[in-house]
Chains A and B, each alone.
Chain A
């Protein structure tokens, strides 16, 4: 509200659209006058990069002599490695029949027979795909990272749930942790914690701890204030309030947070294969390096299956602890106990068979199925025969959108770009976001990555735009047709969990090593939540409103454009915001397939010592772009809603 009020105070009473036109006109005139001047071309040997390189050299040289560094770092590394080894020993010690049965038993107890079938067959599939050991490694690594995330995230989340100041203080840190590309901190962490599962667990934890904190805090905060007040009025101590009221009531949300944490961790463990983390990630990266889509697909499929198993188990567990469900869908009495006994007995028998009959041996080689051949055939056929079409699409977007926008951003004087983006941020979102945007841009200038930042910004804007247009269309279709939605759902699940390295090879074959390939990868990754958010936004328009509009004689088209879309605006704005953040996450992956700019800098910084400084600076620049775009879009969301609230107040006054 302060943002809207500020805009109101600072600007004379022209409509916002008029200000935007004015801003565009002034920008255009200044650009024509000054294009090509005051630009900041890229320099690979910029002083900032050298400084960071020097710091790295210093750490490298002193790593073994600084006692505190040695003890602290070695201690953490040893501890985490030990945790990983325990998980691994347990999972391996259960043997393959044991692990399959136990997962099925968990499914049985938590969700009944259907879930048991899903989870049991899913784990069996790891072995059938010939990826048993790699899958077990990945599971152990994921559990280690999740354990760390929860051990840190839940206590911090509880504090953040009870303390506004603390929440406000950690919010930007959490944002940074999620926007900062893993590639950028993979190398520094490997520098400290060396290669191996410990580093992998730590970098994964950095990515997966924010949802644990945020969702726990949300859970604590959404406990009905009336209940908290009632408990306080009865004389509960802070500890009693937490243990007897807030935590039990937030339980469902916290389990949901665990679910999100697992999903995040799983999406990150693949990339940690680059610091020698064991598991499916290695198979995927190795296949990627051999351009073997089929082999990558097998391993990617194993990741997807693992994601589905863990997701279903935890989300069903969270439903179970939902008190509201008790009244509507009670579990038949005694069933849980029966299932638990059956599951326990079966598990013990299976572990015993695995250990004593099969001698703890590997999953039998005789049972094998692979998608490698067919997937490679299909990929080969598609990439050969569709090239003419994809080439045309790529050229259309590149010449039509990317090149002009990139030319404008890189040839305009830097002060004009800063001022214009600041102006747009001010008009859309208010003073605070505008200041943040300007500061972010100035810092990218300071770390000497202006040109690459502008190039990456171009790609991010185009990718987000395409994601919103395509995602919006699919979202509308899903909202209007249950069958379409049901058809789309598994595809979206797959697109979100399938590691990018699997589809990067066909993408680069179809679109060449270009910026557009990076954009394609970003769209695939960012579109599922956009589609879901749009669908939810439209579907949750109140039935009464739809009925009223229909009764007034609206056509379905009018209903969509005049009622559903305008009312779904908050959801659409969230979709835009989410889209941008997810697109940013793929900037570095784009760097692997010809996207240049910041993504390439980060990749280079990871691969080469002399690019370390530039890579790290580029990682920071990506975060800065992320914060800037996030604040502008978030601000636009809140501003919209206050703008709606204002006339209502005015009416009431009159």
Chain B
């Protein structure tokens, strides 16, 4: 999936979402910080000086059509604030959010409602279901408030319920379902309005590990089937690496690194990121490009051929089957070779980054 999606990303057209210089400051000094020297203070310093907290600090990024864009960070890093600023559930202090070129910040409240009803849909950590409504009416809520008649919205809701695998639970109430099932309702509700962009705010962190894995696979499946643009917030690196075409890592409200999964693992920008990725099995994330060496004259030239974008793990079998070094090909030409030493080093989890 990663390979397929990154291909679309590379052929970059206009971004679906473009964020430019986004700030959110909470507290009395909300509008008195940006553009002054105070803007360079650390979070703690600013809090002490102005009793205001930086939620999001000068964030910019593009999200391409159809990609899964992951925002990752620990709690308090500002990632949830960031995603809420996108649809102005939290009003940003400064900066622009463009949806297909339209500045959401300038939308009137009616226009904003229009966007929220048709273009965005969000899935929440604590589900946010309506306990007094049946599953089908929860899923149909977004259609209901935009005025669609009962038959239409129920038909669509039923479709979505079966899409997320909840057939037969139409008439249950949310509190009769398990957590994982409730989040499937949340998913179905978001999908029901056929949005252009889906926002996920740590949707699986309240779930058990096994169910979480199922749900991640579910998202991957849905992404394949419906092909929405997705912005996914998480504090779980494995989840980010598993789902993300592009990942940004946030700390204290600012982006500390951005890139494809392999870039983060292969080349952490600072100690903070390095700490994060330390325990990631490198062979599961890095591609051959990250560990290949230049071809030397005594290398056999008839070893197996692999694309430079192949994940290391997928080349292990071939490497074991032959004594000869693997030839790494990009754009039809040989760019380097990989032999067992590099592969074993990567699997053992040390070194490997150029």
Contact = CB atoms under 8 A, between A and B. Distances in A.
Whether A associates with B in a native complex is yes
A5 to B, nearest CB: 12
B145 A236 contact: yes
B89 A232 contact: yes
Contacts of A249: 130-132
A250 B264 CA distance: 46
Interface stretch (B114-122, B250-258, B317-325): B114-122
Interface stretch (A18-26, A169-177, A221-229): A221-229
B126 to A, nearest CB: 4
A14 interface: no
A609 interface: no
B122 A230 contact: yes
Interface in B75-94: 84, 87, 89
A360 interface: no
Contacts of A232: 89, 116
Contacts of A562: none
A594 interface: no
Interface in A229-251: 229-237, 240, 244-245, 248-249, 251
Given A235-B145, A244-B145, A229 B176 contact: no
Interface string B107-147: 00000111111101110111111111100000001101110
A234 B116 contact: yes
Interface stretch (A118-126, A322-330, A473-481, A512-520): A322-330
Given A229-B89, A234-B117, A240 B145 contact: yes
A230 B186 CA distance: 9
Contact of B127 (A226, A233, A245, A324): A226
B193 interface: yes
B148 interface: no
Contact of B131 (A235, A236, A323): A323
A248 B130 contact: yes
B276 interface: no
B307 to A, nearest CB: 41
Contacts of A236: 113, 145
Given A229-B89, A326-B173, A327-B173, A234 B132 contact: no
Contact of B128 (A226, A248, A251, A324): A226
Interface string B264-305: 000000000000000000000000000000000000000000
Contacts of A237: 113, 145
Contacts of B127: 226, 230
A485 to B, nearest CB: 30
A324 B131 CA distance: 8
A245 B130 contact: yes
B89 A233 contact: yes
B102 interface: no
Given A235-B142, A326-B173, A229 B117 contact: no
B167 interface: no
B87 to A, nearest CB: 6
A235 B113 contact: yes
A109 to B, nearest CB: 20
Nearest to B192: A234
A250 to B, nearest CB: 10
B175 interface: yes
A234 B199 CA distance: 11
Contact of B173 (A227, A228, A323): A323
A363 B121 CA distance: 64
A234 B142 contact: yes
B130 A235 contact: no
B68 to A, nearest CB: 19
Contacts of B173: 323, 326-327
A224 B118 CA distance: 24
B128 A231 contact: yes
Given A326-B173, A326-B175, A230 B146 contact: no
A616 B124 CA distance: 56
Nearest to B175: A327
A234 B133 CA distance: 16
A118 to B, nearest CB: 28
Given A231-B141, A235-B117, A226 B175 contact: no
A228 B129 CA distance: 9
Contacts of A229: 84, 89, 124, 128
Nearest to A227: B128
B131 A233 contact: no
Q: Which of A233, A234, A240 has the most CB of B within 10 A?
A: A234
A244 B189 CA distance: 16
A540 B164 CA distance: 40
A225 to B, nearest CB: 9
Given A326-B175, A327-B173, A233 B120 contact: yes
Q: Which of A230, A237, A240 has the most CB of B within 10 A?
A: A230
Contact of B132 (A231, A240, A248): A248
Contact of A327 (B84, B118, B129, B176): B176
B126 A224 contact: yes
A251 B132 CA distance: 10
B116 A233 contact: yes
A327 B114 CA distance: 36
A248 B125 CA distance: 22
B164 to A, nearest CB: 16
A234 B121 contact: yes
Interface string A194-233: 0000000000000000000000000000001011111111
Given A235-B112, A245-B130, 4 more contacts: A233-B121, A234-B116, A234-B145, A235-B118
14 contacts: A226-B125, A227-B131, A228-B128, A230-B128, A230-B186, A231-B128, A233-B116, A234-B122, A236-B113, A244-B145, A249-B131, A323-B132, A326-B175, A327-B176
Interface of A: 224, 226-237, 240, 244-245, 248-249, 251, 323-324, 326-327
Nearest 4 CB-CB pairings of A with B:
A230-B128, A235-B117, A235-B116, A226-B126
